[in-house]
Structure 1
Amino acid sequence: MGNVIRVQHLNYTYPEAKQQALTDVSFDVSKGEWLAIIGHNGSGKSTLAKNLNGLLAPESGTVQVAGMTLSEETVWDIRAKVGIVFQNPDNQFVGATVADDVVFGLENRGVPRPEMIKRVDEALDRVGMTAFADREPARLSGGQKQRVAIAGIVAQRPEIIILDESTSMLDPAGRQEVLGVIRELKDELGLTVLSITHDIDEAAEAHRIILLNDGKINEIGTPSEIFSHGMELLRLGLDVPYSEKLKDALAQRGIAMPKDYMDNERLVDYLWTLHSTM
């Protein structure tokens, strides 16, 4: 598939800052891909997300989305292609009810009312929130609030969804709930997903991972390639997958462990096989 996003030599510096927030960042994203962008706090993840849809203007370099180069002339067309789900859903709510909130973006775009009603109903159904259409958003759980935020984006029918630390305020159950919705929507609608996160488990959902460090790309690779660095990720201010922590602990006790990355399921299979040969 072709590239839906192309970033070339992107640089950005915040006003009055002494150091660049992004330095010579270049990467492509294929249509339908799930790309995770990870890094420690302050590594430039959210700054990069905001440069992709014109919330921030690049200092230099180019950003292309769906074949359009980001500029003052194209920024609104690009924003129609890109939806962002932010960290705190309460900051995105504007409606008195769930349905009112989902319809808000469509009203701003002048979508005819019959089409609006159809899109709101479809979006709420897709995220499993139809029964909550008349509820106040403030009375929902964290996972439910993020589902509503996602519905508001899906109703606008973007090609790309950016999750900007969207699960960081949720408990593990809520996190899995939201990621499950995103997986289903991606497969059903053919969406491209960019996940801006410091959560290793969320990053493991991706096809590829960009590892950012102090505004620069440290590495681009598959989850297996990135996580194979194991405990070295701690030096970059990141967590390490549980399976890698367990491998390291077992290796320190003299048990022979493979160097390549294993998710939990593969590690269980390996340990079971190892146990059966002892």
Structure 2
Amino acid sequence: MEDIIELVDIQFSYDPEAERNALDGVSFSIKKGEWVAIVGHNGSGKSTLAKTINGLLLPQQGSVKVGGNLLNEENVWDIRRMVGMVFQNPDNQFVGSTVEDDVAFGMENQGVPREEMLVRVQDALEQVRMSDFKQREPARLSGGQKQRVAIAGVVALRPDIIILDEATSMLDPEGREEVISTIKKIKDQNNLTVLSITHDIDEAANANRILVMQEGKLVREGTPAEIFSAGEKLIELGLDLPFPEKLKAALKERGVVVPTEYLTEEGMVNWLWTSILNK
């Protein structure tokens, strides 16, 4: 499968006088159809990386390729059409008086014919399960519903890549689960590439691969199982432990022999059921 995103030795600094760069020699590639999570504490360079990929920032050194195209000032708008971004606060993205107006807004800017626009709006709202709310004012929706509408607005533009920039950080657990399940479904239906910028370890667990950023550098890369098996070393990187790892640590303190490998929440439930509760 071909690479849809490729970064080579990216350097970027907001301030030439700063002690370190916001991005310092970052290189990685992402395959088409992959879900990759980028995690790290505040100031690690996660959001700067996202803005570099969709051309909001141009690197001062190194190269960015999206869909095989080398990012530069001449083709930045073409690349932005390939990359849809969903931000932290959906209220900052709303411009329409109704849900369907808002979903249509980006297509109006791209000159999509009205007949096609109506079909895309309906299709996008169906994909995020918000068709029944198309005449509602966005301000009257719940947090999770607002974020699903923001996702519909991006999906309607038919991008190849969706970047979630801390898109679930302002939501309660129910809203977070709602949005993540929506993204999973849309990714599979449309063979999208998803890049999730997050500090939420449980959200990152949904990815195929995790990249760990620290002080502008890519310091670790692997599957969720490989990354989370680092256990308390994650705390040294400014990250929290996933719930199953916290539970394993608590059980271990009480003298319970626990698996050494990483377990998902479902895997943890199965292990508890078969190894402890059935005894």
Give 1:170's aligned residue: 171
Give 1:261's aligned residue: 262
Give 1:15's aligned residue: 15
Tell me by how many angstroms 1:220 deviates: 0.6
C-alpha separation in 2, matches of 1:264 and 1:156: 34
Give 1:198's aligned residue: 199
Give 1:4's aligned residue: 4
User: Is 2:102 aligned against 1:101?
Assistant: yes
**Pair 275,134 (structure 1): closer, same or farther in 2 beyond 3 Å:** closer
- Counterpart of 2:59, as a letter, is P
User: Is 2:46 aligned against 1:45?
Assistant: yes
Cα shift readout 1:213-255 (whole Å, capped 9, x = no counterpart): 1110111100000000112211221111111011111212222
Give the 5 Å matches for 1:87-236: 87-236=88-237
- Counterpart of 1:177, as a letter, is E
- Equivalent residue of 2:213, what SS? strand
Q: Which runs of 5+ in 1 are unaligned?
A: none
Bigger Cα displacement from structure 2, 220-229 vs 262-271 = 262-271
Tell me by how many angstroms 1:7 deviates: 0.6
Bigger Cα displacement from structure 2, 13-22 vs 204-213 = 13-22
- Counterpart of 2:230, as a letter, is H
Give the 5 Å matches for 1:21-32: 21-32=22-33
Tell me by how many angstroms 1:15 deviates: 3.1
Does the CA-based 8 Å contact 2:202-2:243 persist in structure 1?
no
Cα shift readout 1:78-125 (whole Å, capped 9, x = no counterpart): 001000000000111111111111111111111111111111111111
Does the CA-based 8 Å contact 1:85-1:150 persist in structure 2?
yes
Cα shift readout 1:2-49 (whole Å, capped 9, x = no counterpart): 110001101110035502001110101000000000000111100000
- Counterpart of 1:68, as a letter, is N
Does the CA-based 8 Å contact 1:231-1:245 persist in structure 2?
no
Give 1:240's aligned residue: 241
Q: Which runs of 5+ in 2 are unaligned?
A: none
Tell me by how many angstroms 1:57 deviates: 1.1
Cα shift readout 1:52-73 (whole Å, capped 9, x = no counterpart): 0111111111110001011001
- Counterpart of 1:231, as a letter, is E
C-alpha separation in 2, matches of 1:99 and 1:9: 41
- Equivalent residue of 2:219, what SS? strand
C-alpha separation in 1, matches of 2:209 and 2:28: 11
Percent identity between matched residues is: 60
Does the CA-based 8 Å contact 1:5-1:29 persist in structure 2?
yes
Taking structure 1 as the reference length, the TM-score comes to 0.97
User: RMSD over aligned Cα, in angstroms?
Assistant: 1.3
